[in-house]
Every structure is written in C-alpha cells, then in structure tokens.
Structure 1
Amino acid sequence: MDALALLKQQHQEVDVLFERIRQCGEEEKILLLGKISEKLTIHAQIEERHFYPFARRMGIQDMVDHSLQEHAQVKQLIAEILQLKRHDPRIEQNVQKLQSSVQEHVKEEENTLFPRVSSVASTEDLMSVGMEMQRTMEELSQQELLKMAENQGSTVAP
C-alpha cells in the first residue's frame, strides 16, 4: 500500500472510533479512548519517522513543520486524557478538543499536504515509504503504546 493510502486508511479508522465514542456508554468509552490513543500514537510515529522526512526531501518543508506542531498538540491532549480519572468531567471536554484537533489536521493533510506530495513523488517512492511505514507499524503495535503515548505527551512544551 502506498504511503498516502495507508495514512488515509488510518485517518478513517480513527474517525470511526470517534463516532463510536459519541454513542457508547462509560465503560466502552474508556476502551475506545485507549484504542484512539494507540492508533494516533502509531500514526504520529510513522508520519514523523518516515512520511514527513520523505515530504521534506520532496521540498515540502513548511507544511511538515506545521504538521509537527499539530502532532505536539494532539500528543499533549492524549497525555492529558490518559492521566484523568474515569469519571472526571474534563474527559468529555478533552475528547472533544482531541477530535476537533485531529479532524482539522486530517483535513489539512488530505486537502493540501497529500496532493502536494503526490504531485512531486513517484508511485515507486510512495510505495517504498508505505512499506517502511507498515514495518514500523508492526513493530510499534508490539510495544506498550499507551505508556508511549503518555510519555510523549509529557515531553511536549506547553
């Protein structure tokens, strides 16, 4: 799968989880938050390790820098959500902030960054980066992702 198709697929998976969270009970919400945190953490890692450096090599520096700033905000929100108690009323507010931030980031990537990358990258290069991203996803899925998400969020400056 090419890099852009893989990233779009991940965007859709997270969007579905956000939709489910709005319609579920308290216990399921906690489980879904864990899944969202894991998926977003993996997504950020593969973008930061593979896709963004590739986009930079393609001459797309400005958008990558902006995307990295958005990642930092999302990581901070994930860390805050994971540190809250189950019945903390701030969970709902932070989940809304997280969903809004993620949706805005996805919109910018899919409407601006991805078309720019697609216009300058070869199909072979996109496939190669996609394969690297898939290998990293498999490695990351074997780690303690919630712990990784908590630690990453705590290293971000406010």
Structure 2
Amino acid sequence: MGHGGNVIDELTTDHREVEELFGRIEALPPGDGQRKTYAEQATIELVRHSVAEEEYLYPAVRKHVPGGDSIADKEIADHAEVEQVMKDLERCEADDPEFDRLVGKLMAEVREHVRDEEENLFPALRASTTPDELDQLGEKVRTAKKTAPTRPHPAAPDTPPGNKLLGPGAGMVDRLRDALSGRGKS
C-alpha cells in the first residue's frame, strides 16, 4: 500500500502490483474461485490508488502541467469507467460467464490507463515540478491510501473537496465490511 519515494515511484509500484494480480487471474482457468479473490485484491488496490490520485495527483497536474485541466479531466473520466466495471464485477462470482467479460474489460482499461500515465502524464509532471514537490506528493498519496475506500463507489465525488471529505468515512466503512467478510485476504 505504501512504498516510499516520490509520487511517480509510488504510483508506478502500485501499477506493477496490480499487473501482478492480473497475471495471477490470467494464469488460472475460467471458473476458478481464486480468480474472484485476485479480482477483489486488485479492486482494493485500484480503488485506493484512484482515490489518492484524484485527491492529490490530478490537482497537482492541473496546477503544474501545461494543459493539466484537460489531462486531469481525461484521467478522472478513465477512473469513472473503471470504477463502474469494478462495481459490476463485484456482483459476479468466478463461475459466472459475465465475470470473464468484466475482468477482461477491467484489465484492458487499466492497462491502457497505466500506459498513458507512465508514457505521458508522469514525464510531463516530472518536467514541470521539482523533486521536492514530487516527494511531498508521494507522501500525501501514501497517507491518502491508508484511509481510502476499498470498494468502488461510482456515485461518490471524484474531485476535491468532496472526495477528501467523504473518502475517509467510506474507507472506514469499507475496511470494516472487508474485515467482517474476509474480503481481500489471501
């Protein structure tokens, strides 16, 4: 959940962890119950990651990167699409035919989003901010992930101040539900 380093290093490490979970899903045969477990773990990580980006990364992109408003708006729209797929996936068991379609769609959308961030957004942010600002953003992102929700909430606000006000409360409820149900545990 928290890796250390500047915001780009932190988020890139998150990307690699989610890709590892996707690889585990792909390695298992359709209908295998462990696919659902890995999909839940990926969802937890993706939701935390997205919330932290929406709270801190995208406001910084708006402030520092030329054309940052349109970049941030596109990234937030990508998040909304992925969040809806995760919400739909939440209702499926691994042996449901819809599970395979949705998990495939999730992986494709996330992989495209990651590619875009790593090839375009991250270099633009690095070029327009100082190393100290990137380090400070990294710390803010790590802190945000600790209290972020772990389940998709497509109707929740995705920009400040609404997301910063409501996110920690939703996160607390989600973590309680996860603890009671065992969701996200290997």
TM-score by length of 2: 0.76
For 2:39, what is the secondary structure of its paired residue? helix
For 1:87, what is the secondary structure of its paired residue? coil
Structure-1 residue corresponding to 2:19? 15
Does residue 117 of structure 1 match 2:121?
no
What's the CA shift string for 1:83-116, capped at 9, x where partnerless? Answer: 1244210100111110000000001100001110
Structure-2 residue corresponding to 1:135? 143
Structure-2 residue corresponding to 1:29? 35
Higher relative contact order (CA 8 A, sep 6+): 1
For 2:48, what is the secondary structure of its paired residue? helix
Partner Cα separation in structure 2 for residue 85 and residue 92 of structure 1: 10
Which one has a larger percent helix, Structure 1 or Structure 2?
Answer: 1
Structure-1 residue corresponding to 2:10? 6
Partner Cα separation in structure 1 for residue 111 and residue 43 of structure 2: 15
How many residues are paired up?
148
What's the CA shift for 1:56? 0.7
TM-score by length of 1: 0.89
Structure-1 residue corresponding to 2:58? 52
Partner Cα separation in structure 1 for residue 59 and residue 138 of structure 2: 13
What's the CA shift string for 1:59-88, capped at 9, x where partnerless? Answer: 411111111110000000000000124421
What's the CA shift for 1:43? 0.6
**Two-structure CA RMSD over aligned residues (Å):** 1.4
Partner Cα separation in structure 1 for residue 89 and residue 147 of structure 2: 25
